[in-house]
Amino acid sequence: MRLVDTCCALLAAGAVIAGVACGSAPPTPVSEEASPPAATGPPTEMPERVAPCLPASLDKGPPPAMERARVGGRTLRFCRREALRGPACYAFDIESGALSMEEVPADFDEEPDFSAPVPREVVVAPGRRSLQVCDASNEKCERVDLGKGAFEVSGVAANADHTRLVVVTSVDESAATAHVVDMATRKVVSAFPASTKELPCGHARFLGGTVLVTADVCAGPHGAAWLVAPGEGRRIAFVGGSEAFGAYDVNAVHIQGDLWAFREERGLEVVYQDVVTGAVVRRVDLADTFPTLVGEPLADPTVGVMLAGAPGEVVLVHGGNAQGTVVLLALKGGVPEQRVATIPECRPR
């Protein structure tokens, strides 16, 4: 029987066949690629486009300072307080030169904590002329006598395995002294100067098993640093090989073994130095990575930073007038290889 005859017979019997009329041809199949119905609601907002460049300064002055700069692999992440958009955070791929935007941390308006790590086994309570060293429960405490005279404990730092502390004492921000305390015996094993007459503010921390002492003028970007053997309090060498190496708030990054990299206070030079022997292994001149004025590099000693990158690598982020210049140093076979990348900046229209 034909399809039409079948349809008519079914309809006569009271059946309903959707879309089929008696005597008509079979319905045309609907294509699976038919166009969807037109949207009737408001248009969907597109996601924000990846930022191709950093906003330029409105008044041609220095750009906003980089904050919370950090490196993961070969990606530099940082935030700035932009004049128009407010806080903004970015990720810069050092290899490809690509810049993208990231979420602003919820605690961005809070000051990050850069304090020295507190020993996990002890609670330290600084006081006048002494130090209270307690166990983790804060129940068993012993007093460590740091000497005679009127002075204040101005800083405490621990080595990596928390077997030693270095405690800095000072009198009215002058005549700073560093004391190395053995945690097992709670005794001072050595004490040595942590400042000079010209650089009265002193600080100390551990680099591996060596003490790094930094001294500065307290209120300006100028300082010097030296390495000290903690057991006997003997000065090993100046960081950079001499007192002339600027070391205000010096950046130190561990490379391998006893080898560390140090950034000169203006960012003009990086030295690779053995912190046990004091030997300077390599020097890298970075003056040509800064813009110049009358032949002199415009280095800003207050805003540049050196960060640890991938193993054996350091990343220098210039600041001030040179912000946007990123220098990657990788030590290959004892020889540092240099790569300079530029964060793209939007050109004013």
Q: Please name every residue paired with 178 in a beta bridge, in sequence order, or none if there are none.
A: 168, 192
Per-residue pLDDT of the chain (349 residues; tens, 9 = 90+): 444 444 444 344 444 434 444 444 454 454 444 444 444 444 444 444 445 788 877 666 678 888 899 999 899 999 999 888 889 999 999 999 999 999 999 888 877 665 555 555 555 655 566 677 776 666 677 778 787 766 788 888 889 888 899 999 887 656 899 999 998 888 899 999 999 989 998 999 999 999 999 999 887 778 999 999 999 999 999 999 999 998 988 899 999 999 999 999 888 899 999 999 999 999 999 988 887 766 666 666 557 889 999 888 999 998 877 888 999 999 888 788 999 999 998 876 6
What pTM was computed for the model? 0.77
